[in-house]
């Protein structure tokens, strides 16, 4: 799961940049060279790396929490459903909490 979230992050970055590129060229009449020059000044490479590290941490947390909850699941279909729901809720709450920690660290470090 950790590898997939990292690839999903890279895919999302690529699509976001491509979308901004095409909108800038087609609707705002900005040249591709100007877009790329402004992109280099507007987005620091450290922000990209921070996002990649966050995606790895999120994936690791989701995998560990889901496996832990899944190992405690009962034998009935209702127990499996309850464990799946508990894993989803734990994953969402955990990702929000980890993101808050990353936001505080990024603020202290000046990202």
Query: Which residues are CB-neighbours of 98 under 8 A, at least 6 positions away?
Result: 54, 57, 58, 61
For residue 89, the model assigns a pLDDT of 95
Residue 73: per-residue pLDDT: 86
Distance CA 61, CA 91 (A): 7
Instruction: Give how far Cα 30 sits from Cα of 16, 43, 44, 47, 78, Å.
Output: 17, 18, 21, 24, 57
Predicted structure pTM score = 0.75
pLDDT of residue 4: 72
Consecutive sets of 10 residues in the chain, 111 residues long: mean pLDDT of each? 73 93 92 92 87 89 93 87 93 96 91 76
51 secondary structure, DSSP code: H
Alpha-helical (H) ranges within the chain are 2-26, 32-42, 45-71, 77-109
Phi, psi of 10 (to 5 degrees): -60, -40
């Amino acid at each position: 799961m950790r590898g997939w979230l990292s690839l999903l992050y890279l895919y999302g970055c690529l699509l976001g940049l491509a979308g901004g590129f095409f909108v800038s060229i087609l609707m705002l009449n900005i040249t591709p060279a100007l877009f790329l020059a402004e992109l280099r000044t507007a987005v620091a490479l450290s922000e990209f790396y921070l996002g990649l590290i966050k995606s790895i941490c999120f994936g690791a947390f989701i995998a560990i929490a889901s496996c832990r909850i899944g190992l405690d699941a009962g034998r009935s279909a209702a127990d499996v459903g309850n464990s799946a729901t508990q894993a989803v809720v734990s994953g969402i709450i955990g990702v929000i909490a980890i993101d808050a920690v990353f936001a505080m660290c990024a603020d202290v470090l000046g990202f």
